[in-house]
A and B are shown apart, each in its own frame.
Chain A
Amino acid sequence: MSKITIPLGPQHPALKEPENFMLVLEGEQISGATVNLGYNHRGMEKAAEERTYIQDLYLIERVCGICSHSHTTCYITNVEELAKAETPKRALAIRALFGELERVHSHLLWLGVAGYEMGFETLFMYTWRDREQVLDCLELLSGNRVHYSINTLGGVRRDITAEQKAEVLKRIQYLKERTNYYIKLATEEPTVLARTQNVGKLPLDVAIERGAVGPTARASGLARDVRKDEPYLIYNELDFKVITHDSCDVFGRLVVRALELVESYKMIEQILNNLPEGPIAVKVPMRIAPGEAVNHYEAPRGEDIHYLKSNGTDKPERLKVRAPTLANLQSVAYMLEGGWLADVPLVIAAIDPCMSCTDRAAVWDPKKGKTQVYGWEELRKMSIEQYRRRGVDFTRL
């Protein structure tokens, strides 16, 4: 059979975000897929260099609309590490609480999107209605539904009162009941099983080789979770399980996310019931001591990495963000191969892609005025050259 190459995207390949997938088709079966990035580059990292540390908080928050707290927490951990600020325990607990509330809201959103992609719109409507509960919790605690802005240099901005605690616990109780129903629905409903089982296979060895992160990796049986592997905030004091599933398909990813919701509810209750007493923030100077810091954070979609370099002024010299979707996109190309065209949106949506997080690697030369993509050899040559100028020789490596 002759092969045809068709483009999927950049208009709305799965979610409402621009990204291009070139699919090589044999009939209706996919024999090859490539992912093309670069439609959503916004120059966030460069913009961060022009703003002060406190202004960057609100910029970094807007890297992504769903995991806004993940990005700021990762960034602020770097800043506090460089400033050697001792963040109060209560602030760390509140950050962890927001992290878990965010995970709940992200996973419920994904569950709805997955339902939508498999043509099960009732599930979509129900989960998104229930997601309002957790968004209301976030609005109650922080003052906004999406960009919570709870972090500030040295702590958090708002404290949690007893009434707020009671209100959040009430809503979490409702969500718990609903989630148990969705777990039953997702694992027993034949529509869901027919659409998700044996679709988008990613075996364990391929997941390791391609560096999958987050629920995508955990659904391939790889127990990789930053919260357990290298606990940050107060995760070492919380009692939770790392959920894994060994079916290696979209169904596994669905189950992992649904069960992670239950773990998150457990953690939210633990944090709220054992909130440490004390101040919620310490003062951090405007100028941050020179140095470099790298931190990682388990965002709802996987491991998020931030690198920060300070030169002693009130503005960072360099900020680098590695969003989880970039790590998972390598696996998408593998998952699509051998599958059917009709399953493509579902497989892409299964990694919970966030393109606006990911797109930050277009190289634009202002002198020549053109965009260029560098290959591995060129990048290697350039980095060796850069290190040689600093006095380190990597030629023989």
Chain B
Amino acid sequence: MKKPARVFSEVIKHLFKKPATCAYPFEPARIMPHFRGRIAFEQDKCIGCQMCVRVCPSKAIEIVLSKDQPPAPAPVEGQPAAPAKKLFDCIMKLDHCVFCAQCVETCPKKALIMTQDFELAHVDRKELRRHYGK
């Protein structure tokens, strides 16, 4: 059964509708909650277990010892001297990252956090190698 110009009435209707696209750089993009964006790092929670490094499918994370380590806590009398808590830095290679957030799930101390940040393009390649930590 052929009915020509079936689409015509629909096309006319669409003339009076709002555009389906959004003018993104000029207005904010619509991002769903829990969108998987850039991974952030909380230094004081990290214990340096390297679990995130091991599960990362694209080898985007490096966990290294920080340059400045905090001094050992003052020894309390009658107790053995407590070792200093080590601090770790996280190097996140954004040009390698595939934003799967597997590291966030694997981290036993929840030191890695998923953010909704997605505007990560840069003209300088060095900017893509983020160094989190002091």
* A positions within 8 Å CB-CB of B: 51-52, 54-59, 62, 122-123, 126, 129, 132, 136, 139-140, 143-144, 147, 149, 152, 157-158, 181, 184-185, 187-190, 193
Residue of B with least CB distance to A187? B1
Which one, A149, A152, A188, contacts B6 given CB within 8 A? A188
Q: State A157–B101 Cα separation when bound (angstroms).
A: 10
B58 smallest CB distance to A (angstroms): 8
**Interface-facing stretch out of B29-37, B42-50, B78-86, B88-96:** B29-37
Q: Contacts A55-B55, A122-B11, A132-B20 given; indicate if A144 touches B1 (C-beta within 8 A).
A: no
Q: State A187–B58 Cα separation when bound (angstroms).
A: 46
Interface residues of B in 1-43 (CB under 8 A from A): 1-4, 6-7, 10-11, 20, 32-36
Q: A126-B10, A189-B7, A190-B4 are in contact. List 4 more A-B contacts (CB 8 A).
A: A62-B98, A123-B7, A149-B102, A188-B2
B57 pairs with A189, CB closer than 8 A: no
- Could you name 18 residue pairs across A and B whose Cβ atoms are closer than 8 Å? A52-B54, A55-B56, A56-B57, A57-B57, A59-B57, A122-B7, A132-B20, A136-B32, A139-B32, A139-B35, A143-B36, A144-B99, A158-B34, A181-B10, A185-B6, A188-B2, A189-B3, A189-B7
Q: Note all chain A residues with C-beta closer than 8 A to B3.
A: 188-190
Q: State A152–B54 Cα separation when bound (angstroms).
A: 16
Q: Note all chain A residues with C-beta closer than 8 A to B98.
A: 58, 62, 147
Q: State A122–B12 Cα separation when bound (angstroms).
A: 12
B36 pairs with A144, CB closer than 8 A: yes
Q: Contacts A54-B55, A136-B32 given; indicate if A189 touches B102 (C-beta within 8 A).
A: no
B6 pairs with A184, CB closer than 8 A: yes
Q: State A132–B20 Cα separation when bound (angstroms).
A: 9
**Does B105 have its Cβ within 8 Å of any Cβ on chain A?**
yes
A210 smallest CB distance to B (angstroms): 32
Which one, B1, B4, B57, B101, contacts A143 given CB within 8 A? B101
Q: State A55–B3 Cα separation when bound (angstroms).
A: 53
B57 pairs with A51, CB closer than 8 A: yes
Q: State A158–B105 Cα separation when bound (angstroms).
A: 11
* B positions within 8 Å CB-CB of A: 1-4, 6-7, 10-11, 20, 32-36, 54-58, 98-102, 105
Residue of A with least CB distance to B37? A143
Q: Note all chain A residues with C-beta closer than 8 A to B56.
A: 55
Q: Note all chain B residues with C-beta closer than 8 A to A56.
A: 57
Residue of B with least CB distance to A120? B7
Q: Note all chain A residues with C-beta closer than 8 A to B34.
A: 143, 158
Q: Note all chain B residues with C-beta closer than 8 A to A129.
A: 20
B112 smallest CB distance to A (angstroms): 15
Residue of A with least CB distance to B33? A140
Q: Note all chain B residues with C-beta closer than 8 A to A54.
A: 55, 57, 102
A144 pairs with B35, CB closer than 8 A: yes
Q: Note all chain B residues with C-beta closer than 8 A to A136.
A: 32
Q: Note all chain B residues with C-beta closer than 8 A to A187.
A: 1
Residue of A with least CB distance to B116? A143
B102 smallest CB distance to A (angstroms): 7
Which one, B6, B10, B11, B102, contacts A58 given CB within 8 A? B102
Residue of A with least CB distance to B34? A143
Residue of A with least CB distance to B59? A55
B35 pairs with A143, CB closer than 8 A: yes
A66 smallest CB distance to B (angstroms): 17
Residue of A with least CB distance to B6? A189
Q: State A140–B7 Cα separation when bound (angstroms).
A: 32
Q: Contacts A55-B57, A58-B57, A143-B34 given; indicate if A185 touches B1 (C-beta within 8 A).
A: no
A230 smallest CB distance to B (angstroms): 30
Q: Note all chain B residues with C-beta closer than 8 A to A62.
A: 98
Residue of B with least CB distance to A54? B55
Q: Note all chain A residues with C-beta closer than 8 A to B58.
A: 58
Q: Note all chain A residues with C-beta closer than 8 A to B4.
A: 189-190
Residue of B with least CB distance to A185? B6
Residue of A with least CB distance to B99? A144
B14 smallest CB distance to A (angstroms): 8
B110 smallest CB distance to A (angstroms): 16
B32 pairs with A140, CB closer than 8 A: yes
A192 smallest CB distance to B (angstroms): 9
Q: State A62–B101 Cα separation when bound (angstroms).
A: 15
A193 pairs with B32, CB closer than 8 A: no
Q: Note all chain B residues with C-beta closer than 8 A to A152.
A: 105
A190 pairs with B32, CB closer than 8 A: no
Q: State A157–B36 Cα separation when bound (angstroms).
A: 13
